[in-house]
Amino acid sequence: MKKWVNIFTAGMLATSIWASPILAADSSHHATKEDSSTTSQPYGDMANHWATDNVTKWSHRGVVSGVENARFEPNRPITRSEWAALLNRAFQIQPGQAVSFTDVNKDDWFAPTVTDAVYAGYMKGFEDGSFRPTQGLSREEAAVTVNQLLQIPSSDTNKTFKDSASLHNWSQKAVNAVVAAGIIEGYQNGTFQPKKSLTRAEAVTILDRAVDHFGAWYGESGTYGPSTGLAKQAGNVVINTTGITLQNTEIAGDLIIGKAVGKGDVFLKNVKVHGQTYVYGGGENGLHLNNSVLVSIIVNNVDGTVRLVAEGATSISEIKIKTGAALDVSQGASVNRVTLTNELPTKSNVSLTGYFHTVNVEAFATNVNIPNGQIDMLNVADNAKGTTIDIAKESSILSLVLHAAAKVIGLGSVDKAIVNAENVSFQTKPKTVTNGGKVSSNVKVTIGNSTNTLGSQGTTSSGGGGGSSSNSNESDKSKNKDKKDNTPQTRENNSGDFEISVPKKVVAVGEAVYFTSSRDGVAYFSNNIDIGSITSLELGVESGKVQKIEVEANKTVSFSTYAINNYEYPRNFEFNLTVYDKNNNYVNEGITVFDENKTIVENPIFLHYPAWENELDKFSFNYNRLITVNKGKTTNNIVQWAIGDGPFLPFTEKDGEVEVKDNKIIVSTKSLEDRVKYKFQIVADAVVTRNGEANKEYYTTEFRKTVRITMIQPSGEAFNVKKGGDITFSLSDVAKVYLINTFDWESQSIVWESDFNDLVAENRGKKRIVTDDEVNKPVTISTGELPPGNYTLYVWDGQILELEIIE
């Protein structure tokens, strides 16, 4: 799946793609066949023109239109905004957030067109703050936009034109890629003429070739695919009108059900989709699946509820619901997981008919209706407060886990309910109600017209449920969470239930970062270089380096990344989302934003994972691009390691595990020894980016196993030490140890050793150097005159322990 398809939506715009009041052709009117020769030519000035067939085809598909007096003006230059509208329609680009340009007013017909194109990431503005919507589009600009959309791999052989030297640096790779793919051609005299304006006829021709490169595009009602056998579609498929049946087809890429399907039907019969299936159109009739196999379906029809009916031997791994939907799998189909994402608008209705293995509700205040069928496991997430679950009499839920306030109504049955939140109510008493451990032992639930208390054994004190315990691990997790021993504990949020939910933490430049805060407050989006106290973030806002918005509790909002201030490598892709509530409590999440136009770096970031993630001796090589294992390579042969000055040897399964995820090569070791130095190497061509760039050989300098810390005093249930007292511990290796106020450390982004030393010099922290003869022996560090509060015992190259200095 190419990057841009992930941001598809039903983006057919109502305005003309030309700067003309004439609207695009009605998309509900189609020719009966794809061949444009069978349809009438609608424009008087296209007779005998070389682009007649393409213009006719895309006109009848509702993507392009003419101007006054039934003319097309094929030889007139196309403007930048017209080109954006053309691509938005053909490739169904997702509506984006408002974009501010000096020459784009909100009332201009092209304002939403520009917004969508910029949000999708295939077009940008200029350094002076303009978009130049009425400026003619150059041929090299067209090449760049098409290459951004299709993410065409770099060509091994680049065609040289007589005027290749006149190409701008920013367009050279894109021009080479689209020329090699046959989407844009040079002229007969051997030139490319990169700065020449693209004509309207050329634009439609390039569009037609780009769509062919992408896959199949069905815009006329009818049946497609063989009546017998199995056709294989190497690319992707777009279905963009009602009344289409696709049969006996295997799709290697994605399937997009476009908005122009409207409230009509699409039928899939014996269709297998290896990529994603995006549903942007369809209404009460919607999408019908028969004997089909789909990996993932994403429902996102902003114009209304989509009905999806699956029957026969249909198998679906996951359905992600972003807008209202009615799923009917009562005729034998198999669905493993359904997720009601937090992008669902408040008070949306989702109907589930038939058998579902797992249903996850992440959306706020959603109505889940189960008219007939069974759900094995239904989970209501922490941020899904206000969920209503309506279980009809003939329906059942085997296991219901409630992490947020919810109302369960109807006469259907719930075998086991696990309560992890306050304000839970049931109209019909479940067979068993269990305390999941995340609430007090005497939490109250409403059953019918009475209030019941969950007793210490986890079942309702009124006897409902028979005392069976949860088969989830929630209770055990809760018990272990409060247990203290001499090992460092996991860092926890000290702000109670304050949290932010970020469904997608790795995005490309141009994609929005969606999130939901559990509290009202102010959110900041900053590069890691700028993260710090609220004062430093506000300074970043003033300088334009940091974005800021106000947020309402449990309302999904987003930050745009199309104009982020990317710094030079190595930290240009590391960002932070920070939310402060009204009491200046804060939470944050790390966000990765990749610019897929950047060249992959030779020297990745070597990152030893922090001790509070409980992943000691795990580290990663972080690149500035999304990567996958290169063809012919496996994770077993891309990493080598050496002990001391010894030779590099293969890192095998007995030594640990290697995983390639997003931009990281992650190495988890099994056999590192204390007081021994190691080096690791990534072999050349181990991983590759989406456009075919491979990594260079890279090896680390020497480093040690994580230095372990064992606390001796204080001990017990909490690591509390009285003001002025000593802290006693032992280390597994030589190291420097710092005792730093946790707020100072977090709010000021303390990462360098000099920063720690500065705090110590200012009497805001303590330092202790553990020497060779002190390893594995009790050593102390005094709290001195440090004021009471939460502190971090930070071992350089080692574990981190949190404690509190008390009066």
CATH number at 794 reads 2.60.40
Domain stops at, among 661, 689, 704 = 704
36 vs 365, residue with greater confidence: 365
C-alpha to C-alpha distance for 209 and 212, rounded to whole angstroms: 5
**H or E stretch including 481?**
helix 474-481
Claim to verify: residue 133 and residue 269 sit in the same structural domain: no
Res 394 pLDDT > 90: no
Claim to verify: residue 341 and residue 420 sit in the same structural domain: yes
Claim to verify: residue 457 and residue 506 sit in the same structural domain: no
pLDDT band (50, 70, 90) for residue 60: confident
Claim to verify: residue 364 and residue 257 sit in the same structural domain: yes
Per residue in 339-372, pLDDT (tens digit) is 999 999 999 999 999 989 899 999 999 999 999 9
Quick check: 703 and 675 in contact, CB under 8 A?
no
User: Across the chain, what does the average pLDDT equal?
Assistant: 82
Q: CATH number for the domain including 548? A: 2.60.40.1930
Q: Which of 30-34, 253-257, 273-277, 628-632 has the lowest mean pLDDT?
A: 30-34
Using the Cα atoms of residue 19, residue 25, residue 31 and residue 37 in order, give the sign of their dihedral: negative
- Continuous H helices in 375-422: none
Q: Which of 482, 459, 480 is nearest to 470 (CA)?
A: 459
Claim to verify: residue 355 and residue 471 sit in the same structural domain: yes
Q: CATH number for the domain including 681? A: 2.60.40.1220
Backbone region of residue 632 per phi and psi (left: phi > 0; alpha: psi in -120 to 50; beta: other values): left
726 vs 442, residue with greater confidence: 726
Q: Which residues pair with 99 in a beta bridge?
A: none
Residues 234-251 have a mean pLDDT of 94
Total structural domains within the chain: 5
Question: Does a structural domain hold residue 488?
Answer: no
Q: Which of 548, 593, 576, 500 is nearest to 751 (CA)?
A: 576
Claim to verify: residue 396 and residue 520 sit in the same structural domain: no
**What DSSP character marks residue 71?**
B
196 vs 437, residue with greater confidence: 196
Claim to verify: residue 387 and residue 460 sit in the same structural domain: yes
Looking at residue 206, its pLDDT comes to 96
**H or E stretch including 145?**
helix 139-150
Q: Give how far Cα 343 sits from Cα of 388, 555, 556, Å.
A: 17, 9, 7
Quick check: 573 and 593 in contact, CB under 8 A?
yes
| Bridge-based pairing state of the strands 765-770 and 306-311 | unpaired
Looking at residue 744, its pLDDT comes to 67
**Per-range mean pLDDT, top range of 28-37, 514-523, 752-761:** 514-523
Q: Give how far Cα 200 sits from Cα of 64, 153, 185, Å.
A: 10, 27, 16
Six-digit token pair at 197? 């304006």
Domain stops at, among 656, 671, 704 = 704
pLDDT band (50, 70, 90) for residue 531: low
Looking at residue 162, its pLDDT comes to 93
Q: Which residue has the tokens 């940091």?
A: 546
Six-digit token pair at 260? 């122009």
Question: Does a structural domain hold residue 52?
Answer: yes
Q: Give how far Cα 94 sits from Cα of 115, 277, 390, 570, 571, Å.
A: 10, 15, 32, 31, 29
Res 534 pLDDT > 90: no
Claim to verify: residue 570 and residue 516 sit in the same structural domain: yes
Domain stops at, among 478, 511, 538 = 478
Question: Does a structural domain hold residue 447?
Answer: yes
Residues 429-448 have a mean pLDDT of 86
Claim to verify: residue 452 and residue 366 sit in the same structural domain: yes
Residues with Cβ within 8 Å of residue 472, at least 6 apart in sequence: 399, 401, 418, 436
Six-digit token pair at 250? 């295997």
Residues 686-701 have a mean pLDDT of 90
| Bridge-based pairing state of the strands 618-622 and 664-669 | antiparallel
C-alpha to C-alpha distance for 514 and 498, rounded to whole angstroms: 17
Range(s) of the domain holding residue 573: 500-594
C-alpha to C-alpha distance for 522 and 548, rounded to whole angstroms: 7
Question: Does a structural domain hold residue 484?
Answer: no
E-state strands within 29-176: none
Claim to verify: residue 236 and residue 347 sit in the same structural domain: yes
381 vs 471, residue with greater confidence: 381
Question: Does a structural domain hold residue 600?
Answer: no
C-alpha to C-alpha distance for 666 and 660, rounded to whole angstroms: 6
Claim to verify: residue 340 and residue 445 sit in the same structural domain: yes
- Backbone φ, ψ for residue 781 (5° rounding): -140, 130
Residues with Cβ within 8 Å of residue 170, at least 6 apart in sequence: 144
Quick check: 783 and 739 in contact, CB under 8 A?
yes
pTM (two decimals): 0.55
Question: Does a structural domain hold residue 464?
Answer: yes
Q: What does R_g of the chain's alpha carbons equal in angstroms?
A: 30
Question: Does a structural domain hold residue 96?
Answer: yes
Looking at residue 25, its pLDDT comes to 26
Six-digit token pair at 498? 């304050």
Q: Which of 261-275, 323-337, 445-459, 538-552 has the lowest mean pLDDT?
A: 445-459
Six-digit token pair at 285? 């009739």
Residues 467-486 have a mean pLDDT of 31
752 CB burial (10 A radius; 0-12, 13-18, 19+): exposed
Res 11 pLDDT > 50: no
Claim to verify: residue 756 and residue 727 sit in the same structural domain: yes
Q: Which of 570, 595, 602, 590 is nearest to 687 (CA)?
A: 602
| Bridge-based pairing state of the strands 709-713 and 726-731 | antiparallel
Per residue in 75-96, pLDDT (tens digit) is 999 999 999 999 988 988 877 7
Distance, CA of 143 to chain centre: 27
Looking at residue 340, its pLDDT comes to 96
Question: Does a structural domain hold residue 155?
Answer: no
Per residue in 564-598, pLDDT (tens digit) is 755 566 667 888 999 999 988 889 898 988 887 78
Looking at residue 779, its pLDDT comes to 94
Residues with Cβ within 8 Å of residue 450, at least 6 apart in sequence: 462
Looking at residue 322, its pLDDT comes to 94
536 vs 250, residue with greater confidence: 250
Looking at residue 568, its pLDDT comes to 60
